[in-house]
Amino acid sequence: MTDLAFAQETRPEKPAPKARSQRAIAIWLLLCCAMIFAMVVVGGITRLTHSGLSIVQWDPIVGAIPPLNTAQWNKAFHLYQQTPEFRDVNSDMDLSQFKSIFWMEYAHRLLGRSIGLVFLLPFLYFLARGRIEKPLVPKLIAMFVLGGLQGALGWYMVSSGLIHNPHVSQYRLTAHLSLAFLIYAFILWVALDLLGPTVPVPAPEFTRLRRFSYGVTALVFLMVIAGGFVAGLRAGFIYNTFPMMNGRWLPLGMFALHPLWRNFFANMGTVQFDHRIIAYLLVIVISSFWFMARRAPLPTRPRIAIHLLLLMLAIQISLGIATLLLVVPTPLAATHQAGALTLFTIAVFVSHAMRNARPVS
C-alpha cells in the first residue's frame, strides 16, 4: 500500500454538513443558556440589593439607553421619588445612592435585551442559510416568543411594587423565576437533542430509572417554586435557626391566614417550612435515585451526571442552611440561587441522558 493510499484510508472523515449545522446550532443554544444562567443570578442580586424598582418605566427599545446627562439623571430620580419604595423605605436617598441601584437594574434589563439579540440574529442567519431543519423551526420560534413573554412578565412583576406596596408580588416574582427556569430547560433540552442521537430510542431496561429521573427534575423545579415564594415574601429573614424553627418543628401561626390555602403562598413561616420540607424530600428522593442507578448498567456519562447530581444537592442544601443562619447575606444568597439553577441543569441533563442511554455490559 502506498503512503498516499494509507493516508487516504486513515484520514478521519469530516462531519457531514447536517451534523456540522446541528452542532453549530447546539453551541449557539448553549450560549443562550449560559446567558440565561447569568440573567437569573443578576436578577437575584437585583432583588437582594433592592434595585428592582429603581427604573419605573418599561421601554424595550428606548430604555436601552441610560441617562446620559445631569438633567436625565434628575428626571429618572424624580420618577423614582414618586414610588412607594422611595416614600416608605428610601426617603433619605440622594442621587448618587440612586445611581447605584439604577445601574444594577439597568444591567439586569440590558442583559435581557442582549439575550434577545444573541438569540434572534443567529436564528435569522441560520434560517436564511437553510441550516435549520423544518421540525426545529417552530421550537426556535417558541423560544423567542417565550423570551418576549418573560420580559413582559418581568415588567408585570415590577409594576406590582410601584403602586401601593414597596415590594413586588410574590406570585408574580415566582412566576417570573419559574418561567426563566422553564425557558432555560427548553433550550437546554433542544441543544442536547442536537448533540445526541438523531432518533433516540429509550431502552426498556431503564424505564423505571428514566421515569424516576423525570420525577427528580420535577421535584427540583418544585423546590425552585417554593424558593420563589420564600424570596418574594422575604421569608428567609425569619426563623434563622436550623434544623428547628426557633425551637419548634412547626412555625407559630402556620395556618393563621384564611382561607387555609393562602398560608402556603402568603404566610412567611409556612412558606419557609414548605421550602425546608421539599429540601428534606429531595435528599430522600435523589439519594434513592442514586442508589438505584448504582446497580444499573449505565454508560459513563449518565453515571457521572448522577454522581454530580447527588454532590450538587449536598452543596445546595449547605448553601441554603448557611444563607438562613447568616440571615441572607447578598453574596451567599446569590450563590444559593445560582446553585438552584446548577442543580436543575444537572437534573435536566440526567433526564435527557436517561432517555438516550443504552445498557452496557
d(CA 359, CA 293): 12
Q: What is the pLDDT of residue 266?
A: 96
pLDDT at 8: 44
Kindly state whether residue 5 falls inside one of the protein's structural domains. no
Residue in 212, 114, 224 with CA at minimum distance from that of residue 175: 224
The whole-angstrom distance between residue 115's C-alpha and the CA centroid of its chain comes to 14
Say whether both 248 and 189 belong to one domain: no
Judgement on whether residues 61 and 41 belong to the same structural domain of the protein: yes
173 and 107 within one domain: yes
Q: What is the pLDDT of residues 18-47, one digit of tens each?
A: 788 899 999 999 999 999 999 999 999 999
Question: Residue 306: what are its φ and ψ, rounded to 5°?
Answer: -70, -35
Question: Residue 16 — very low, low, confident or very high, per pLDDT cuts 50/70/90?
Answer: low
Range from 65-74, 192-201, 320-329 carrying the lowest mean pLDDT: 192-201
Q: Does a structural domain hold residue 81?
A: yes
**pLDDT reading at 13 higher than 50:** no
21 and 97, same structural domain?
Answer: yes
* Preceding peptide of 259 cis, ω within 30°: yes
Are residues 234 and 156 both part of a single domain?
no
> Mean per-residue pLDDT for 169-192?
97
Residue 169 and residue 212 in one domain: no
For residues 306 and 334, membership in a common domain is answered with yes
**Structural contact between residues 288 and 275, judged by C-beta atoms closer than 8 angstroms:** no
Distances (CA, A) of 321 to 117, 232, 249: 38, 18, 16
Task: Give the domain-ending residue among 150, 172, 196.
Answer: 196
Over residues 325-347, mean pLDDT: 97
Range of the domain at 323: 204-361
* Same-domain check for residues 280 and 168: no
CA distances from 195 to 116, 190, 192, 214 (A): 23, 9, 5, 20
Q: Mean pLDDT throughout 196-200?
A: 62
1 found inside a domain: no
Mean pLDDT estimate for the chain: 91
pLDDT tens digits, one per residue of 72-95: 999 999 999 999 999 999 999 999
Write down the pLDDT at residue 60: 80
Higher pLDDT, 20 or 321: 321
User: Is 102 a domain residue?
Assistant: yes
Q: What grid cell was written down for 257?
A: 391566614
Is 108 a member of any domain? yes
pLDDT-derived band at 197 (thresholds 50, 70, 90) equals low
Percent of the chain with pLDDT over 90: 82
At 15 the pLDDT is 52
Spatial CB neighbours of 160, under 8 Å, sequence gap ≥ 6: 168, 169, 172
3 is a domain residue? no
Residue ranges in the chain assigned as alpha helix (H): 3-10, 17-48, 70-81, 84-88, 95-128, 137-159, 170-195, 207-233, 263-266, 268-294, 300-325, 330-356
Whether residue 260 is found in the same domain as residue 349: yes
Among the candidates 154, 176, 196, a domain finishes at: 196
Last residue of a domain, one of 166, 196, 226: 196
pLDDT score of 3 more than 80: no
Phi-psi region of 329 (alpha: psi -120 to 50; beta: other; left: phi over 0): beta
Residue 7 lies in a domain: no
- Residues 309, 262 within the same domain: yes
Q: Does residue 34 share a domain with residue 181?
A: yes
* 230-276: pLDDT as tens digits: 999 999 999 999 999 999 999 999 999 999 999 999 999 999 999 99
**pLDDT tens track for 109-123:** 999 999 999 999 999
Report the number of distinct structural domains present in the chain.
2
Residues 245 and 124 in one domain: no
Q: What is the pLDDT of residue 6?
A: 41
Does the pLDDT of residue 285 top 90, yes or no?
A: yes
**322 is a domain residue:** yes
- Phi/psi at 245 (nearest 5 deg)? -105, 90
Neighbour count for residue 194 (Cβ, 10 Å): 21
Whether 223 and 281 have beta carbons less than 8 Å apart is answered as no
